[in-house]
Chain A
Amino acid sequence: MIVDALAKLGRDTISATATTGRAGLVLFNALWAAPDVKKNSPLLIKQLQVVGVQSLAIILVSGLFIGMVLGLQGYTILVGYGAENSLGPMVALSLLRELGPVVTALLFAGRAGSALTAEIGLMKATEQLSSLELMAVDPLRRVIAPRFWAGMISMPLLALLFSSVGIIGGHLVGVEWLGVDSGNFWSVMQAAVDLQDDVMNGVIKSFAFALVVTWIAIFRGYDCIPTSEGISKATTQTVVHSSLAVLGLDFVLTALMFGE
């Protein structure tokens, strides 16, 4: 019985190591090539449309509502201290530093990551990837690479849009509805927000999340068991693993960036 437990531990370790290795190989082989701009840019634009433009609606609507909730909650707390003029920096900093990159990454994992996994998984199940190989087209270069780059480009832009719309939502509730002074809202915010420390660190965060989420999504699809059950399992794993990875990585990045 002890031997069985040991064997299970060993089996799990070996399979985890092998999975990590395969994930690294997929990414490395997909990206390790001189990009052929003329041949690949139509593929990239197609994927930017699927991954980026089609995620726009959910990102903008959730950004607006999260900004409005921040404005409302922040106001009710700050007004107790007579500090409602600090509403601007509170809304802007929480969006730029944390909520913008993190919520965008979570929504992106659910909206675009799961779709990527399912699409690539079905390509594998219906042997489209093998057919590409038979035609001497590398599926990693043709299928995986454009999707990866589309994710890397889309996510930071989506996070920036999320933060902007959220700040406008906070302005809507705080200034237009609850009557915080508009001049104070913007000027106190500008005094507190730093381009390098807050805006750029948020962008760096969303690049890191883009790498993690897109990588997990395309690898889970490429590595899935080619059955309907396997695809469903891979899609679930994409959402669960990338959400957990984003939240864990966010703590590490926050500690590095803002923890003195």
Chain B
Amino acid sequence: MSNRKVEVLVGAFIAAGIAAFLFLALSVANTGSLSNGETYRLYAKFDNIGGLKVRSPIKVGGVVVGRVAEINLDTQSFMAVVSMDISKDYKDFPETSSISILTAGLLGEQYLGLEPGFMMDGIETLGEGAYIQDTKSALVLEELIGQFLFSQNGDD
């Protein structure tokens, strides 16, 4: 086989390999649209975070606006402190906003639902490092069943 032909074949092989990597990186893998952009940090305290995990999404009306950065336990109040990185594209949420831990589908992954509150004079917006005051904890199935059974017993 001539030298030229070998070179062309090897070049095509390397190019095909690089194309395969690009296909896997761009089309198969999650390129992390929010991981590289500028973000700001918000905090929220919960009694119970259920199955929430680091990197769980934060959604406003179903649109992902950020991800959970850290989950810690406040040793004073023994409440879970969730740190959230929100994209700078979505800012100026009013401080009356509420945040709750929701579940995607019946048995799906848990995520944070941010519900923007009302906006009027004298109400500030949530900036870097602010705490969201109005929080709703995760629904824990066992507790719900326990409450249900308890209320059933109460009727008798």
**Which chain A residues have a beta carbon within 8 Å of chain B's beta carbons?**
42, 45-46, 48-49, 52-53, 56, 92, 96, 153-154, 156-158, 160-161, 163-164, 167, 186, 189-195, 198-199, 203
Contacts and interface: CB of A to CB of B under 8 A. Distances in A.
A52 B13 contact: yes
Contacts, number: 75
Given A52-B13, A157-B16, 10 more contacts: A45-B10, A46-B6, A53-B12, A157-B17, A160-B20, A160-B21, A164-B23, A167-B28, A199-B21, A203-B21
A19 B109 CA distance: 53
Nearest to B10: A48
A72 to B, nearest CB: 20
Contact of B25 (A92, A189, A195): A195
B130 to A, nearest CB: 29
23 contacts: A45-B6, A46-B6, A48-B13, A48-B14, A49-B9, A53-B12, A53-B13, A56-B13, A56-B16, A156-B17, A160-B17, A160-B24, A164-B23, A164-B24, A167-B28, A190-B27, A190-B30, A192-B30, A193-B28, A194-B32, A195-B30, A195-B31, A199-B24
Contacts of B17: 156-158, 160-161
Contacts of B23: 164
B16, B28, B30: residue with the most chain A Cβ atoms closer than 10 Å: B28
A160 B32 CA distance: 21
Interface string B21-53: 101110111111000000000000000000000
Indicate the size class of the contact surface on chain B: 20 to 34
B106 to A, nearest CB: 11
B28 A96 contact: yes
